[in-house]
Amino acid sequence: MNIFSMLKKSILLVAHPDDEILWFSSIIEKVDDVIFCYLDCTSNPQWTMGRKQSFSEHPLKNISCLNIDESESCDSANWENPLINKFGIKISKKSISDKYKENYIKIEEALKDKLKHSHNVFTHNPWGEYGNEDHIQIYRIVKKYQEKMKFNLWFSNYCSNKSYPLMLKYISGFDSEYVTLKTNKVLSHQIENLYKKNGCWTWFDDWIWFNEESFMKDEDLKEDSKVYGHIFPLNMIKQEFPRKGLYRIIHKLKKVYGCNKASIVDIKTK
């Protein structure tokens, strides 16, 4: 695939602010538009305010946001036995599941006209990179439109030990047409520092970017196919599995006090 045709009339659709540099840094300056889905986070007003401020200071000028409230579904699925459904992935808690389903409908409606004239759409992969429920939902919505509108759908190659079992469900029968590009570490650090300054950075403080990242074209993707697939590159991340009880408390503290995931590891080992 020629890189120029890959980027013709292109859109990058991400779930949250900071996803654009964590999983798509190599293309954020190359695509025509970058669209964020979520803005407000009810349990963490600092993230909401910080995201709004960061958008106003963002070095990229081709960005927009759907302004959807987060369902706060992170770690609400059973990752030991993940079950994909129409709305993304099965969520265990009913109140979160209801909001998750509502968001599917809202995002689907909001994207109806935005994707209409695209030739290439980049978004999260079917297993949610490291295992993020919102990322999976975004992929399912874009995939639904791809089947109707026939644009090229590309997704990232990031994975973790947590999301690996779900990823294996998609590898069979997948022809693996992919493109590998160098990550943009300079711009990524610039935007990372912006999010940190505004108190809405959600990832590890000491995160080190991969040198390269790949994007897979999923037109031949067949879920749970009987046909054996091909090997394709994965950027693997070490990720802790969600825990019940204590993990839920720590996750809530993270949202309230703005702790990042690295801080959570420190709390759990004390």
pLDDT tens for the chain, 270 residues long, are: 678 889 999 999 999 999 999 999 999 999 999 999 999 999 999 999 999 999 999 999 999 999 999 999 999 999 999 999 999 999 999 999 999 999 999 999 999 999 999 999 999 999 999 999 999 999 999 999 999 999 999 999 999 999 999 998 877 656 668 899 999 999 999 999 999 999 999 999 999 999 999 999 986 555 555 666 666 789 999 987 655 544 444 444 554 455 444 433 333 322
**pLDDT value, residue 239:** 80
Number of Cα atoms under 13 Å in the Cβ half of residue 114: 21
Handedness of CA 122, 128, 130, 134 (dihedral sign): positive
* DSSP SS3 for 179: strand
CATH number among 3.30.1460, 3.40.50, 1.10.10, 3.40.1010, domain 3-240:
3.40.50
Amino acid symbol at 181: L
For 36, counting Cβ atoms within 10 Å of its Cβ (0-12 exposed, 13-18 middle, 19+ buried), the class is buried
Query: What's the CA gap between 15 and 150, in Å, rounded?
Result: 22
Task: Estimate the crossing angle of helix 45-57 against helix 185-197, to 10 degrees.
Answer: 130
Whether the predicted model's global pTM rises above the 0.95 cut: no
Handedness of CA 148, 180, 222, 161 (dihedral sign): negative
**pLDDT value, residue 259:** 47
**pLDDT value, residue 250:** 46
- Determine how many CB atoms are found less than 10 A away from the CB of residue 3: 11
- Please check whether residue 17 is in contact with residue 55, taking contact to mean a CB–CB distance below 8 angstroms: yes
